[in-house]
Amino acid sequence: MRIAISQMNCKVGDPSTNIDHIHVRIEQAAKQKCSLVVFPEMAELGYDMEVITKSAKSWNDGPANILAQYAKQYSIAVIAGIAEREGMAIYNTLAAFDKNGALLTKYRKIHLITADPICEDKFLQAGQELSLCTIDGIKCGLMTCYDIRFPELARALYERGAQLLIAPSAFPLIRIEHWRSILKCRAIENQLYVAGANRIGTDAGVAFGGASQIIDPLGAILSSASETEDNLIFADIAVDQIAAVRQRLHIGQDRRPALYRNWSQSA
């Protein structure tokens, strides 16, 4: 399966411009024979909590329908970060559609950052559920930005059969070396592919660091973007590569989960 990551500058408070950009990138990815294109976190609104609070729409009134329309029009799966309002709550949501425009899954970010200057927890509701979907026979586990810092989430997705971790993000430039290291670590420790779709630009005083990457189960970087440029990157995902890596090094079967549970319970 060939996948694409669209690294973009999401214009804060300008969903029309952002959706137009997403449309162009979906078309470009489809022309490159990709089965999937991934966009950053909060791709349609940008990353300003006050703007998100004011502008977030319900699932039916937000960008989900147009993303589904583009997926169907270009016959390509699409995953993008959006703001989703449900009642009084606002969620940092990933919307995933198949090549026919049908909803595969939606994922609500579980780990909300509590540090200044973003403080998501003051504005957003945390998700509670894992989210996986299958695209062209490859099982994909979804994570969002700060989620990648928590190995428990990646491992839970691995335990449920994930072969590719997809992480749309708005990761800051000041910590971009963490981003690179963590993505590689998640790939190696779980013996799977990782696709990290970061953004560029600056919102609410936070500069974002790009460096989107697609990494194989051995930790090799298959494709990467710069820290500053709007770009579309590609890589091929091969299920047999996952099996080959796991046959050589038996991390899955050598784990001791009963011990780990005991340690956690006695802490």
Compute the distance between CA of residue 183 and CA of residue 196 in angstroms, rounded to an integer: 7
Contacts of 88 (CB under 8 A, 6+ apart): none
Strands 77-86, 57-58: pairing is parallel
Strands (E), 87-189: 89-97, 103-108, 132-135, 138-142, 164-168
Q: 188: number of CA atoms within 13 Å, CB side? A: 9
Q: Is there a contact between 68 and 105 (Cβ–Cβ < 8 Å)?
A: no
Q: Which of 41, 44, 84, 120 is catalytic?
A: 41
Pick the catalytic residue from 109, 120, 140, 184: 109
Among 10, 34, 140, 145, the one annotated catalytic: 145
Task: Name the one residue in this structure whose structure tokens are 């408070």.
Answer: 13
Phi, psi of 64 (to 5 degrees): -55, -45
* Catalytic residue status for 109: yes
Among candidate residues 193, 224, 220, 195, the one with its CA nearest the CA of residue 211:
224
Please indicate whether residue 227 is annotated as part of the active site: no
The catalytic residue positions are 41, 109, 145
